[in-house]
Structure 1
Amino acid sequence: MIRFIKGKFHPLTDGTAVIESASGVGFLVYLPANSPLYKNLEGDEVKVFTAMIVKEDDVSLYGFDGKEELDLFKLLITVNGVGAKAAMAIMSILPAMELRRAIAGGDVEAIKAASGVGKKTAERVILELKDKVGDFGDLSSVSSGEQSFSFGSERTEAVSALITLGYSKSEAETAVGRVIDDELPCEEYIKRALKI
């Protein structure tokens, strides 16, 4: 099984990219529409974590920016009726942390916003994964060394924004956690975290 690929990034327009390895082999990889990997330019060096899905008539690679996203994808495809393409559609609607929160919170509307995912499938995802998303960390709080803050707070929104800007989850949580003042607007947390 191919766990990750390192190489040059060549984005395509159909939700895929080619990752050109050092040996010159180009691997076609399906990516979520909101993947941070798309922030890379043509030819940039990237590391893509992959899941290889083997079917009778097809072998496909699904790629993710980090292990957390890869683990969430693997969890989604365990749900009855959710294949790799449906899982990618679900992963394309929200960043991984927000998607975990939507599943844990039973947010059917957020999940059924994914292309090709109906209400019954969204409900099944929540029913089967609600207790399992905790495997990715505590959903009630995010600890960052110096501060601890709960989901839904302005701090958490700032963390999500920084992750969207390309920072790793740990970098974003640490930077926002180092902001001493409480009860600031999300934008202020982002500004101060970027200075840190």
Structure 2
Amino acid sequence: MIEYIRGMIEDIGQNYVIIDFMGIGIKVFVPFSTLKALPTKGNITKLYTYLHVREDGFQIFGFKTKEELDLFEKLLSVNGVGPKGALSILSVVPIDNFAKVVNTGDYKALTLVPGIGKKTAERIILELKDKLPKEIVFESDNNLSNEALEALLALGYSKSEAISALADITCNSVEETVKQALKKLMK
């Protein structure tokens, strides 16, 4: 389908942006995290997109990063969560915290999202628990983990891939930690 859209920002709304793409104004619905990361009106931007086809028309959803798009698509796989609900979840729960919320079973954090009740929150946690990487808590004094994460990011891995690879690795040096993580990533 449409992998991404690149064009000049014509207008920014509460939950959407209008992008001028070759003289056509395309309305792209975006989460709050993408909205606040956008440049100002009149500047060029690139958004990774998801095209939602309905009986009464098409809707395009856009994201600043591929990780946000991937999480959006995972949320759509949950029974009872549609594109607008998934967009609301990404607007309320930051992508960096989402895996932690799911892996700890914190359904209350998801019920803060408008339109998501306790049952839907519990279903999201149940269905996505095995599909998300185990989150690593990086303490500010844990230089070893932070340096290993930075090394993997510098090698071109996404943050979610790097965090998943670093889960459950306990080594005494950055080099050994990165080696072990790369072995996991190469499988």
- TM-score exceeds 0.5: yes
- Which residue, out of 119, 135, 147, partners 2:144? 147
CA–CA separation in structure 1 for the residues paired with 2:13 and 2:100: 29
Q: Within 2, Cα distance between the matches of 1:10 and 1:97? A: 29
Unaligned ranges ≥5, structure 1: 150-155, 160-168, 174-196
Structure ID, larger Rg: 2
Match of 2:20 in 1: 20
Indicate if the aligned counterparts of 1:73 and 1:88 stay in contact, CA closer than 8 A. Answer: yes
Which deviations, in whole Å up to 9, do the C-alpha atoms of 1:57-110 show, x marking residues without a partner? Answer: 121000000000000000000000000011011111122121122112211111
The aligned length equals: 147
C-alpha distance in 2 between matches for 1:122 and 1:11:
33
Higher relative helix content: 2
1:9 aligns with 2:9: yes
Deviation at 1:140, TM superposition (A): 2.5
Identity in percent: 37
- The CA distance in 1 between the partners of 2:54 and 2:96, in whole Å, is 29
- Separation of aligned partners in 1, 2:113 and 2:84: 11
Residue identity in the other structure for 2:69: L
2:59 and 2:93 map into 1 onto residues whose CA distance is 23
Report the alpha carbon displacement of residue 13 of structure 1 after superposing the two structures with TM: 2.5
What aligned pairs does 1:39-78 form with structure 2 within 5 A after superposition?
A: 39-78=38-77
Q: 1:183 maps to what in 2?
A: none
- Tell me if structure 1 keeps the 8 A contact 2:4–2:46: yes
> How many angstroms apart in 1 are the aligned matches of 2:99 and 2:10?
29
Residues 141 and 148 in structure 1, CA contact (< 8 A), matched pair in contact too? no
SS, match of residue 99 in structure 2 = helix
1:1-196 to 2 correspondences below 5 Å = 1-21=1-21, 23-35=22-34, 38-134=37-133, 138-140=134-136, 147-149=144-146
Q: Could you tell me how far 1:39 is from its partner in structure 2?
A: 4.0
Distance 1:48 1:3, change over 3 A: same
* Structure 2 gap ranges (5+): 151-157, 163-187
Distance 1:130 1:110, change over 3 A: same
For residues 11 and 99 of structure 1, what CA distance do their matches in structure 2 show? 29
Stretch moving more, 71-80 or 108-117? 108-117
RMSD: 2.4
Partner of 1:152: none
Q: 1:147 to 1:10 in 2, by over 3 A?
A: farther
Query: Shift of the alpha carbon at 1:141?
Result: 5.7
SS at match of 1:140: coil
Contact preservation (8 Å) 2:52, 2:58: yes
